Amino acid sequence: MSSVEDAEEEEIGWGGVVRLGTVAVTGAAGNIGSVVRKALRDEATRVILLDRVPLRPEAENEYAHTVDLRDAAAVESALAGADQVLHLGGVPDEAPLADLLDANVLGAHHVLEAARRTGVERVVLASSNRVTGFYPVGHLTRPQEPLRPDGLYGVSKAAVEALGQLYADKFGLSVICLRIGSFEPQPTEPRHLATWLSPRDAIGYIRAALTAPPSTRFTTVYAVSANTRRFWEVPDPAVLDYTPVDNAESHALDIPGADLPADPASPQAGPYALPEFTLPHLGF
């Protein structure tokens, strides 16, 4: 086999997917991180795991670091040598704004700045559908539309997206924001029939984001399964080359209330849009 053929073979991973180089994953101990790290082992040369919770490598190509994302120097040290970064770390739900700014916004800033300083090629930021939670159920929401966050958590993720746009525009970093849906092994409530993101589709979106062409400077897409009742636009393959395959409708018979029609004027966020969801975190 020629050297060219050798190189081509090294770039191809499972299922003909372009093989990844060194991928760093923040929040690797979380729900999504725990699933993704297993998929990356077979497709990346090295996987760097970052979390404030101590992790143990489970494969020869895994390298674990106990890092608080608020520590800029520690983040930069851990990301040294990475080709791509998947940023999943942060507070995952409604909380006092000060905590969200500290963990989510400042943490994302440190990741992006470390990526700029160490020459990372691509950063994939985990955003959230909650940045547009106040659009009505009857509206198909597209990533280009104005933000309508449903709470303080949504506000923090809007700021994370803005930081990604800044680093793409000002410093030429390639950034892809994934507005993640309801990541669950299977849908368990009526809202999930629209918002579910299956583990298989989550891996598909993340793989596509990590391997998107270098010419992709900045883009934002919804990461949601192919749900019949979804109210978010799935990405155009020209923007992100992944088509979701799972459909929450196949679980509808097991979900109480699935047969009740949704109010098309109600917020897509469901209970997250209620004042009661945020009031306990305002501190007054």
Q: Give the Cα separation of 235 and 216 in Å (integer).
A: 14
CB-based contact 129:115 (threshold 8 Å): no
Q: Out of 135, 153, 222, 242, which one is annotated catalytic? A: 153
Decide if 26 contacts 69 (C-beta within 8 A).
Answer: yes
Reply yes or no on whether 272 is catalytic: no
Structure tokens at 194: 């629209």
Cβ neighbours for 126, distance < 8 A, ≥ 6 positions apart: 27, 32, 86, 87, 88, 90, 178, 180
Cα(102)–Cα(229) distance, rounded to whole angstroms? 35
Crossing angle for the helix pair 31-41 and 199-211, to the nearest 10 degrees: 60
**How many residues belong to the chain?**
284
> Which residues carry out catalysis?
153
